[in-house]
Amino acid sequence: MNRILDLTALELGRQIRAGAVSVPEAVQAALERIAQVEPDLNAFVTVDGDRAMEQAGRVQRRIESGELTGPLAGVPVAVKDNLCTKGLKTTCSSRILENFVPAYTAQAVRKLEEAGAVILGKTNMDEFAMGSTTETSYFGQTRNPWNRDHVPGGSSGGSCAAVAAGECFLALGSDTGGSIRQPSSFCGVTGIKPTYGTVSRWGLIAYGSSLDQVGPVAGNISDCAAALEAISGHDPRDSTSMDRKDCDFTAALQDDIRGLRVGLPRDYFGEGLDPEVQKAVLEAAQTLREKGASVEEFDLGLVEYAIPAYYVIASAEASSNLSRFDGVKYGYRTPDYEDLHGMYKRTRSEGFGPEVKRRIMLGSFVLSSGYYDAYYLKALRTKALIKAEFDKAFKRFDVILGPTAPGTAPLLGSSLSDPLKMYLGDIYTISANLAGLPAVSLPCGLDSKGLPIGVQLTGDCFREKEIIRAAYAYERTRTWEKPDLTAAGTDAAGKGERI
């Protein structure tokens, strides 16, 4: 392995500032890794090496002049393909946006570039972020670096697989119902969904506007905290953006959790949870207890209503958001049509995949006359009740700990045939989006097949520092494990490389 690729994002940043490594050297190392593993993984939709090397040269000169001094200056990163990038294709992994090149850059990406990060390319995802496996992409499925026969999770599966495989040092994803945390769990990396409104959604192609939030994926919590610090902040172009004064998230990287109150929801440890996942997550809770936290079980109500409420709300918002993709102004337009109505119909039929069509139809149904009150309004009331349950829990606890997903990464092709089963895989992550809460997933072990297990820490609104502190304290007790990229298929399982 190239020695540069052994470094974390913050370690690389320090070496670049010290002159031990140049930015072009770091970017070249990442591009070589991408060329090596992409034929197997398909974690990227677009890689622009020439653009990245040009940017690397500019960043190097700004570092040498003293203009760029931040911790991420010169670090090669990747961006999920639903975040707009000026002059670089943004497809949402959909045929309907196959050749769309935005005229502007999303605020979160812009802030990362202002911090000196170098954009390598755009990562694969479930089409329009609708899926949990990164198998619904028009550009082909992404494979899990730990075992190519398994999915990486979704919808930010490309970002998480790229970080796990060492193709980039950190990546941006989006999280609507667990789309950063669940693939982080499946790929053995760390991912944060911040409090709703912490990171601007301007330039993020919307799925469910009241649920979407941009966040970072990296190999450890320190890199995630630094990236989140870089991309957070008020943006007047996003009406939901919060003007926060406490975005110094790296200040929470302290190995001291004495007195931290950790809650374990009994509802999360019942039927449907893989015994190996339960064992690893409970061992993580015990580790926090041994480091000085108090850990207590409690009942968190309304968990069973989270998935139906989420899919009603998200699909309703998606049906509205995706109505703009009609072949008129940008994106794909069918070549075979006779009139305007026919063009709309054929363009959308040919441009959207099955999962996107399913959610558009569901959303249109629940918003239709006669069903609006019965489904959509009821889901909104359920969302408010779920938020009230969490408010009650956070009067007793600082952090809620549980599994990120009910199991480890399933086999490729085993989920799409049963959409309901795929939806149920988000049972532990969805509530944080409905309630607008911050949550982080980080690795807590491997199962008997050698696949990563993730533990999730959820905090109260605007209390990211609590979950970062708990994650950092737990992480200090473990060694980050990486997949063996020389193995393939079933043989890859169980061959993690410790660094």
Interacting residues of 486 by C-beta distance below 8 A, sequence separation 6+: none
> Amino acid letter at 29?
A
- For the chain, percent helix, then strand, then coil, each to nearest 5? 40, 15, 40
Structure tokens at 327: 């072949």
Contact 311/391 with Cβ under 8 angstroms?
A: no
Task: Map tokens 């580790």 to a residue.
Answer: 287
Contact 302/385 with Cβ under 8 angstroms?
A: yes
Ramachandran class of 110: left when φ > 0, alpha when ψ lies in -120 to 50, beta otherwise: alpha
Give the C-alpha separation, 58 to 447, whole Å: 44
Whether 155 is catalytic? yes
Chain CA centroid to CA 443, Å: 14
Structure tokens at 360: 């558009």
Residues 93, 159, 174, 179: which is the catalytic one?
Answer: 179
User: Number of H helices and number of E strands within the chain?
Assistant: 15, 13
Task: Map tokens 């009942």 to a residue.
Answer: 299
Structure tokens at 105: 């850059």
Give the C-alpha separation, 349 to 327, whole Å: 11
Nearest to 46 by CA among 111, 108, 91, 97: 91
Cα dihedral angle (173, 264, 463, 128), rounded to 10 degrees? 20
Nearest to 77 by CA among 102, 55, 103, 93: 55
Structure tokens at 298: 């409690």
Interacting residues of 327 by C-beta distance below 8 A, sequence separation 6+: 96, 333, 334, 343, 344, 347, 348, 351
Give the C-alpha separation, 436 to 198, whole Å: 10
> Amino acid letter at 172?
L
Residues 80, 111, 383, 482: which is the catalytic one?
Answer: 80
Chain CA centroid to CA 80, Å: 9
Show contacts of 85-90: CB within 8 Å, 24+ apart: 85/109, 85/119, 85/122, 87/51, 88/46, 88/48, 88/51, 88/119, 88/121, 88/122, 89/45, 89/46, 89/122, 90/122, 90/205
Residues 93, 94, 132, 155: which is the catalytic one?
Answer: 155
End-to-end C-alpha distance for the chain, whole angstroms: 11
Residues designated as active site = 80, 155, 179
